[in-house]
Amino acid sequence: MRAALPYPLLSAALALTWLLLNAPPTPGQLVLALLVGLAIPHVMRALRPRSVRLRAPGRLARLGIIVLYDMLRSNIDVARVILGLRRGTRRTGFVAIPLDLREPFGITILAIILTATPGTLWVQYDSDTGRLLMHVLDLTDGDAWVRRVKDRYERPLMEIFA
pLDDT tens string 57-70 = 889 999 999 999 99
> Looking at residue 145, what is its pLDDT?
92
Rounded Cα distance between 8 and 11, Å, is: 5
> Looking at residue 99, what is its pLDDT?
96
| Residue 49: strand, helix, or coil | coil
Residue 1: pLDDT band with limits 50, 70, 90 = low
Beta bridge partners of 120: 136
- CA angle 19-39-113, nearest 5°? 70
The strands making up 93-98's β-sheet, listed across from edge to edge, are 93-98, 131-136, 120-126
> Looking at residue 58, what is its pLDDT?
87
Could you give the C-alpha distances from 117 to 44, 141, 148, in angstroms and in order?
28, 18, 13
Nearest residue to 99 (alpha-carbon basis) of 65, 71, 125: 125
Contact 130, 100 (CB under 8 A): yes
pLDDT of 81 higher than 70: yes
